[in-house]
Chain A
């Protein structure tokens, strides 16, 4: 069970480095350069040049201006009121040049063949011809895939002034409609005022060789939508649709991104994925750097790490020429990854490359530590708040808990990312306090500040939530999608807390933060968060069934919870208005047990995070058993367990990953009416393995006409390695099988039982 806001917090898109771009072998690069001789260029949007006013109606004015007394005075004499202007750009991508910028006509552009050339037939150079032939072989070798990625080639070119260009060449063979629908749409994201995207060429080729070319006039730049809590206003998306794509087509395009105004010139940390869920014929990435690194890049040194790569592809081919050094990795005929249920993140198992220019963590740590520390500033209102909240708190733990719960419950999740600094470190604590909204970085900064106000040390730490793969910590590169808080108590003990959920009670924190790497820039330290024991994510239940002679029951159920389980249940019920809660529970019960009628439903105070959550319900259930002749077969409600995802495969290639550990401790009591006796109960079971513990029993107490069922079930680890899978699977299958046991009761003839009768066989 996961908290209601579990998946909300992800750092801004700027943290997600480009990994999907695809590259071109030398011969293709030559082809595309030759193509520029006749290519037609077209601007898609008004370019941003130096000193641009962006008006609220979308108009852009490119001319010099001054501003005073709430008005802009343009060089042509026009006066624009302040309220009509949304942004003022001082410099922009339009001014920046790169060596390969000969064809750029603006902020974003698309180039293509003249539309009149639609009937032209394609001719391929021999190596591409061979790659296409290889693709058809791979399509047969790995049947049923939607397509084959034939060329997946990328190249980064970095200059000593920190500007950089990424060029990508894609060629794919469409085998199914879903690849057609996906690949016909091309384009790229960029950041207005800092980078630009450009389609060099995009076309589809029919099986008979007929070419259909994307008309650049049909391309468009827009501000893409985000989920309702995300506000990245700088993101732009250049999109176009390649015409004529169908099953059997080849789809080809080349794109270019130019990063002309990087916020951190020295931060260059690209990644590359060579493998996909479809077959790949050729995947190549080239990193082209100045040799030596000088100017704005002085003192940096290129480093890389590969993951899951075969030995022969791990090391790059290095070429030094004309003051440049080029590193090229190449992988060919790469089989598709076949996802397995409950597996670790795809990024943890595919062939990939990660690079950086930082020789060590020092510079990265210093930069982030500075912007984080600047934001952790104790202003008077924050000091006053911290003092008020912690007044008379008897222990340090209680002080921390009060501040933790206050931030969780008073800061609404909204993620506003406007620059690298807010992307990584959010906003100053006082701003978040005043606005009462923020994202993971904002609430961590505010929480650290409140703790600082009462002299407790705390740090924002960056991590990747466990569902998104391991954080890259092998080389100094910024990697992460979330920020939580590391608190150091006065006794020196350290703990992690996450303020983005509004329902976790102290000292619990979100399940997807468990067992992952954290990067503490201020301390310059990398360490894993702990994985709590199963008892810290537990549901404990007691269910008492009193059966009448017709097998109808009055049930009293009491539940209590810990950790993420508690947070999930609390979060859910908090979101339901008080008078609807009983109704929702009634609906849930009726789904679980037809005809169930809820008579009482109580929870402890949902808002009070200091008190463990407890829930009590009373309900009636008709026909808890199914009559078969003189037998009554009673299902033990909620006992049955199924693990189809975790146990479906006989063997696995990839480890199983859970968010965290978890446990259930439950007891059922069935009081039987007169005239009923136990016919059959299963033998008890005990399974105690590294990953799974299960202890369950059904026992009869004839003296009290009572059957007691007990269960302890826990998943003890977060990950199950492939080598442990057979034992894990066996344990879960045994659990599932035992949990399907029923209580078999004998109905004595004198009981007058009137349970519904079944048809005896003729």
Chain B
């Protein structure tokens, strides 16, 4: 208790839970609303409904009005909530809120922040591994104008397995008024309702009153999970166990934070937890109360805000992070998920449809590699991607047969269908869940399937494993998103024995695949790779961003430029999107592209890859012409800039020595540019940007240049293979990136012979 703004101890969470059942309701200060048939509405209070009339007290005048029922369409009732009777700060008795109001945070203490979190209490009760009640209270003060947006918020829940209630929400204004959440600004809504079978995630969304600088906001929610699994008609979906993730530092200052988890004494040893970066920052203690064991983690001192910088590591890798779950092992998590997913696809009709489709692929393709591609292309292109990703729906896929019949599914369902089809075609494949590579690092010490949420399929051929992400028609075979490359993954569907009949035993008693003729050592390799793997990064040559610029200069300063842009991997997907445009829209697109190179440039022609064939490397090529591109300086000098060559320096905007965090790049980069300048007759190259060869901590920048036959050729290769660059290397990296930008600003100068 060293900080003057700390007013609550570990006991806060315990007190909070004890107070809840005793909540008292009082007369409402927010209003009911009555709506007439002809579209009028009035605020007030519902007094009585008789067989013929509705008696309503109008807020505006205080008048009691008797409406015939036939005139009224509906009445919307304001829920009466805890603290509703409090109208001024003087009347506040709750110790946390009272302290927050009595000792406001001085905005000058946190001049970089919009709000200060005065108290964050998460109180969780777990009765078993399927049932949890979470009470969450957050008290914060608005420090500046940017904090006003925190008055609008959302609380998320699963419609079918959770119930969420806003216990209360109020604002204490700087002049001492207490105003309460009005239900007209509280709405429950579905987040993904476009496709009904994926309509599961929902939220309560609210807008609080009078959230201005100086105001203190106090909001409490209660969320209860239900023990039934609605998908399998059986309790305890292993893919959705209760768990807790909590961070003790965020983008805004946190003055107090307490997480409490209570479990029955009989289950106390089944809890597993890890606190990362918590030493000396977060305390932990265990208490007993009756038949309950109570774990409490509390912030020891106010947590300063994480100062955001471009290209920084995820907040989760900076902040103290707590993960609590029911004890398990990774092997068990994988085995339980595998068993569950296997059970999902047992309906004979569904199995039959998938097997029949797989057989058709076998019939039409002679080679395993061809079969694998044909199946991938079918799932990626002909099965429409609908619904949210697994994290926003559930980690359990729909049966593959259902996805096949409907010809649509979310990415997990598409992956499951691909996995089933491959296995049924005799190609060993495993279904996996990966952790988004852009997210914070996995907490290895707490085995919990929910730490993974992005599906991917691992398929095995003669050349080893290939990773497949059949999202849509834009993504080619083996092209996985950058955030899957290098990501951790766990197996949730195994490759062998799923569908009896697709594998057999060899003389040594090992199982081999019939179609692919995969030898035992490949199957052994799959088995030995274990249930957790790291998805390899694709070779850089498969993630190219390429450009060739062929520029012909005339003596009257005009240019004709042929640009060919090419790309593979994620870069290719960008090109393929152009395939969605009509011919007329493509014309406009390329005209705009030409004009973006130089105002007044005209498009001469354009060509593109055949995107329907999703080639490994796609290209677009277009030719533009522009008068006056070169600048004359005197009679002899003709100068020009290198077209479209520029390098972004936004990641290194901070001067060296002022940066807080190491550089963290989510993606790698591989860019190659070839610029060929054709010099007009009677001129020669007087100056051009110097060749360079720079290298620094996983970044390279190399320029080669040559002249001859009235041409100047400049070749640039830029790579960035490192994801993380230590803080001490920031200055050197900044220099390299800035120098690249300076280099790209250089001129080519032609001189008259």
Residues of B within 8 A of A68 (CB): 47-49
Closest chain A CB from B167 CB (angstroms): 12
The residue of chain B having its C-beta at the shortest distance from the C-beta of A229 within the complex is B152
List the B residue with the shortest CB-CB distance to A64: B51
Interface check B357, CB cutoff 8 A: no
Q: What are the residues of chain A within 8 A of B249 when measuring CB–CB?
A: none
A-facing residues in B557-597 (Cβ within 8 Å) = 579-586, 588, 591-592, 594-596
Query: Contact at A737–B600, with CB atoms within 8 Å?
Result: yes
Q: Please state if A245 and B407 are interface contacts (CB–CB under 8 Å).
A: yes
Q: Within the assembled complex, what's the spacing in Å between the Cα atoms of A341 and B628?
A: 24
Tell me which of B51, B585, B691 contacts A144 (CB under 8 A): B585
Q: Which residues of A contact B73 (CB under 8 A)?
A: 89-91, 193-194, 261
Residues in chain B near residue A244, CB distance under 8 A = 406-407
Given A83-B25, A224-B193, A244-B407, answer yes or no on A66-B633 (Cβ-Cβ < 8 Å). no
A437 at interface (Cβ–Cβ under 8 A)?
yes
Task: Report yes or no: A341 in contact with B688, Cβ–Cβ below 8 A.
Answer: no
Let me know if A590 and B687 touch, CB within 8 A: no
| Min CB–CB distance B673 → chain A (angstroms) | 18
Inter-subunit contact B148/A758 (CB<8 Å)? no
CA distance A118 to B257 in the complex (A): 58
Given contacts A231-B185, A263-B39, contact A142 B688 (CB under 8 A): no
Answer yes or no: A65 CB below 8 A from chain B CBs.
yes
A241 within 8 A of B: yes
Interface residues of A in 472-498 (CB under 8 A from B): none
Q: Is there a chain B Cβ closer than 8 Å to A591's Cβ?
A: yes
Q: Which residues of B contact A749 (CB under 8 A)?
A: none
- Contact assessment for B196 and A742 in the assembled complex, using a CB-CB cutoff below 8 Å: no
A645 to B589, CA, bound (A): 10
Does B694 make an interface contact (CB < 8 A)? Answer: no
Which residue of chain B is the closest to A624 with respect to CB atoms?
B745
Determine if A306 is an interface residue (Cβ-Cβ < 8 Å). no
User: Which residue of chain B is the closest to A278 with respect to CB atoms?
Assistant: B582
Mask, A28-70, CB within 8 Å of B = 1, is 0000000000000000000000000000110000001111100
Asked whether any CB of chain B lies closer than 8 Å to the CB of A752, the reply is: no
Closest A residue by C-beta to B192: A225
Stretch at the interface among B259-267, B502-510, B652-660, B664-672: B652-660
The reply to whether A628 and B686 contact each other, CB–CB distance below 8 Å, is yes
The contact string, 1 if C-beta is below 8 Å from chain A, for chain B 30-47, is 000101011111010011
Q: Contacts A229-B152, A231-B207 given; indicate if A758 touches B687 (C-beta within 8 A).
A: yes
Instruction: Give chain B's interface secondary structure class.
Output: mixed
Report the count of interface residues on B (CB-CB < 8 A): 128
Task: Mark B711-753 against chain A: 1 for CB-CB distance below 8 A, else 0.
Answer: 0100000000000000000000000011001100111010000
Pairwise interchain contact B585-A633, C-beta atoms closer than 8 A: no
A420 on the B face (CB < 8 A): yes
B747 touches A633 (CB 8 A): yes
Residues of A within 8 A of B75 (CB): 87-88, 90
- Could you tell me if A431 and B596 are in contact, using CB atoms closer than 8 angstroms? no
Q: Would A595 and B738 count as touching, CB distance under 8 A?
A: yes
Given contacts A142-B584, A762-B707, contact A414 B407 (CB under 8 A): no
Chain B residues contacting A177 (CB-CB under 8 Å) are: 381, 384, 472-473, 580
Q: CA separation between A445 and B175, bound complex, in Å?
A: 25
A687–chain B nearest beta-carbon distance, Å:
13
**Residues of chain B with a CB closer than 8 A to A91's CB:** 37, 70, 72-73
Q: Is the CB of A644 within 8 A of B595?
A: yes
Complex: A371 Cα to B428 Cα, angstroms: 70
| B288 proximity list for chain A (CB < 8 A) | none
Cα separation A225 to B193 with both chains bound (whole Å): 8
Q: Does A436 contact B (CB under 8 A)?
A: yes
Q: Which of B197, B210, B384, B745 contacts A435 (CB 8 A)?
A: B210
Bound CA span A428–B154, Å: 27
Q: Which of B113, B154, B310 contacts A228 (CB under 8 A)?
A: B154
| A589 closest partner in B (C-beta) | B653
Interfacial chain B residues near A622, Cβ < 8 Å: 742
Is the beta-carbon distance between A82 and B77 smaller than 8 angstroms? Answer: yes
A424 (CB) vs chain B CBs: closest residue: B39
A419 interface residue per 8 A CB criterion: yes
Which of A577, A736, A761 is B113 in contact with, Cβ under 8 Å?
A: A577
- Among B175-204, those with CB < 8 Å from A are 179, 182-191, 193-197, 199, 203
B contact residues around A733 at 8 Å (CB): 599-600
Is residue A702 within 8 Å, beta carbon to beta carbon, of the partner chain?
A: no
Query: CB within 8 A of A86: which of B49, B69, B77, B145?
Result: B77
Docked pose: A586 CA to B190 CA in angstroms: 41
The docked-state distance in angstroms from the alpha carbon of A576 to that of B308 is: 13
Contacts of A597 in B (CB 8 A): 655
* Contact indicator A577/B193 (Cβ below 8 Å): no
Q: Is A724 an interface residue (CB 8 A)?
A: no
Indicate if the CB atoms of A87 and B77 lie closer than 8 Å. Answer: yes
Complex Cα–Cα for A649 and B146 (A)? 41
> Do A412 and B151 have beta carbons less than 8 Å apart?
yes
Closest to B473 in A: A177
Contact B749 A650 (CB under 8 A): no
Cα of A193 to Cα of B586 in the assembled complex, Å: 46
Within 8 A of B (CB), among A63-101: 64-68, 72, 82-83, 85-91
A388–B183 Cα gap in the complex (Å)? 31
B152, A225: Cβ atoms under 8 Å?
no
Closest to B708 in A: A762
Question: Are A421 and B40 in contact, with the CB atoms below 8 A?
Answer: yes
The answer to whether the Cβ of A207 comes within 8 Å of any Cβ in the partner chain is no
B50 smallest CB distance to A (angstroms): 6
Give complex CA distance A617, B431 in Å: 56
A191 to B183, CA, bound (A): 18
Contact across chains for B74 and A88 when beta carbons are under 8 A apart: yes
Quick check: B384 and A245 within 8 Å, CB to CB? Answer: yes
The yes or no answer to A178 lying at the interface (CB within 8 A) is: yes
Docked CA distance A180–B408 (Å): 10
* Residue contact A338 to B599, C-beta cutoff 8 Å: no
Structural contact, A631 and B49, CB atoms closer than 8 A? no
Checking A226, A243, A416, A591 against B648 with a beta-carbon cut-off of 8 angstroms, the contacting residue is A591
CA distance A227 to B212 in the complex (A): 21
Most central of B73, B196, B688 by chain A CB within 10 Å: B196
Per the bound structure, the CA–CA distance linking A338 and B582 in Å amounts to 9
Q: How far is the CA of A278 from the CA of B76 in the complex (A)?
A: 44
B196 near A67 with CB under 8 A, answer no
- Distance A579 CA – B108 CA, assembled complex (angstroms): 10
Nearest Cβ distance between residue A720 and chain B, in whole angstroms? 16
Residue-wise, chain A 241-263 has the 8 Å CB interface mask toward B (1 for contact) of 10111100000000000000101
Of the A-B pairs whose beta carbons lie under 8 Å apart in the complex, a sample of 29, sorted by A's number, is A64-B51, A82-B46, A87-B75, A88-B75, A185-B194, A185-B195, A193-B74, A223-B193, A233-B184, A240-B196, A261-B37, A264-B39, A338-B582, A339-B588, A412-B211, A435-B179, A576-B146, A579-B111, A587-B310, A587-B654, A594-B737, A628-B687, A644-B592, A644-B599, A645-B595, A648-B594, A758-B688, A759-B689, A761-B707
Which B residues form the contact surface with A (CB < 8 A)? 25, 33, 35, 37-41, 43, 46-51, 54, 60, 69-70, 72-77, 79-80, 111-114, 143-146, 148, 151-152, 154, 163, 165, 179, 182-191, 193-197, 199, 203, 205, 207, 209-212, 310, 381-382, 384-386, 405-408, 472-473, 579-586, 588, 591-592, 594-596, 598-600, 602, 628, 631-634, 637, 639, 648-650, 652-655, 684-691, 705, 707, 712, 737-738, 741-742, 745-747, 749
With A412-B151, A631-B637 given, name 7 new contacts (CB 8 A). Answer: A90-B72, A178-B580, A180-B384, A240-B196, A579-B112, A597-B655, A628-B749
Listed in ascending order, the chain A residues whose CB lies under 8 Å from chain B are 56-57, 64-68, 72, 82-83, 85-91, 142-146, 176-178, 180-181, 184-185, 193-194, 218-220, 222-226, 228-229, 231, 233, 237, 239-241, 243-246, 261, 263-265, 278, 336, 338-341, 371, 410, 412, 414, 416, 418-422, 428, 430-431, 434-437, 574-580, 583, 586-591, 594-595, 597, 607, 622-623, 626, 628-629, 631, 633, 635, 641-645, 647-650, 679-680, 732-733, 735-737, 740-742, 744, 756-762
Query: Which 6 A-B pairs rank lowest in CB-CB distance, beginning with the nearest?
Result: A263-B39, A736-B599, A420-B39, A220-B196, A590-B653, A579-B111
